Amino acid sequence: MMGIFGAVLPRFVLIVAWANASAYWGSIFGSPVWFIGGFLFLPWTTLIYGLVQQNGLSLLNWIFLGCAFLADLGTWGIGALAGRKQVSSYMGS
């Protein structure tokens, strides 16, 4: 359930936000390549950056970005840790 939450929810919110304010998101990233890359690989970080960038990047905003980046790494790491457990039990047999 957490994997689905971490993988689907931020991408859904990014699609809705881009559909409602594509000019805003285009002005933040400058190029659709950055938005698409963030959408595919770092959705939480892209979403939080879009929310905090308009006020400038203060210390608190950097903390939010760091937490979002850790959430993205956690989303990617869930599959790696699960696979590692299966491989170690296979190698032990």
In whole angstroms, how far apart are CA 84 and each of 27, 50, 71, 89, 93?
Answer: 41, 34, 20, 9, 15
Q: Is the pLDDT of residue 9 over 70?
A: yes
Tokens 């990047």: give the residue. 57
What is the pLDDT at residue 55?
81
CA distance linking residue 55 with residue 14, whole number of Å: 19
CB 82 within 8 A of CB 3: no
pLDDT in tens, 27-74: 998 888 998 998 999 999 999 999 999 888 899 999 999 999 998 888
- Whole-model pTM: value is 0.76
What is the pLDDT at residue 43?
92
